[in-house]
Amino acid sequence: MSAPVHAVVDKQIAVFGEASFKLTDTFKATAGLRPLATRLRRIGSGNGAVARHDNQHPLELHREAGHTRKQFYLWQPDRDDLVYVSASKGFRPGGPNVPVGPTCGGNLAALGLTRVPGQYASDSCGATRSGARTPSSTTSCRSTPACYYIDWNGIQQNVYLPGCGQQYTANLGKARSEGGEHRGASTGRSMC
């Protein structure tokens, strides 16, 4: 009996560019972009109880292209006060799954599957943040409130199959996080 042998080759080509603009004396903007092209190739072989029934797994390709981006805006009317907003969105590329052996049939059936999905898709995550910095007009304190919102979709997760000790990757669910924070700091000897 021999264990399966799998090779995965991941080739990615990406560039990143960023530009900042001073639109007025008090307003600035920054934009960034990262285009990406990826190609994953998998080939494997094996036989026996832990491998697939066939002796040679076919070559599988997964190609994907996309981009991540960011934007940042800053308004600073004077040396002490500022307000900002930032937004970014990115992704993790998908790819091919490695087949599992016939001993995993019971675990797959419990999930409503007859075999492991051939590929999993990319997931994406977007984040927005805004905040300010302002000193108090009556004390030597500085206030920095901020709020954020994060949205993550198609999350890539490993699915463990306990009956055979193997796993595959699937897109499972989504997550959202939102909230805020506030910091105060003293710029002098007095307490805030």
| Rounded-to-integer distance, Cα 70 and Cα 34, Å | 9
CB neighbours of residue 69 within 10 Å: 14
| pLDDT tens digits, 47-94 | 555 555 444 455 667 888 889 999 999 999 988 899 999 999 999 999
H or E segment at 16?
none
Instruction: Establish if 191 belongs to a structural domain.
Output: no
Instruction: Pick the closest to residue 183 from 137, 148, 131, 139 (CA basis).
Output: 131
Structural domains counted in the chain? 1
Residue-range definition of the domain harbouring residue 175:
2-181
Q: Are 11 and 39 in contact (CB under 8 A)?
A: yes
- Look at residue 189 and tell me if it is in a domain: no
Q: Give the global pTM.
A: 0.74
Q: Is residue 190 part of a domain?
A: no
- Residue 143 corresponds to which tokens in the numbers above? 């206030």
Mean confidence (pLDDT) of the chain: 85
Domain assignment present for 146: yes
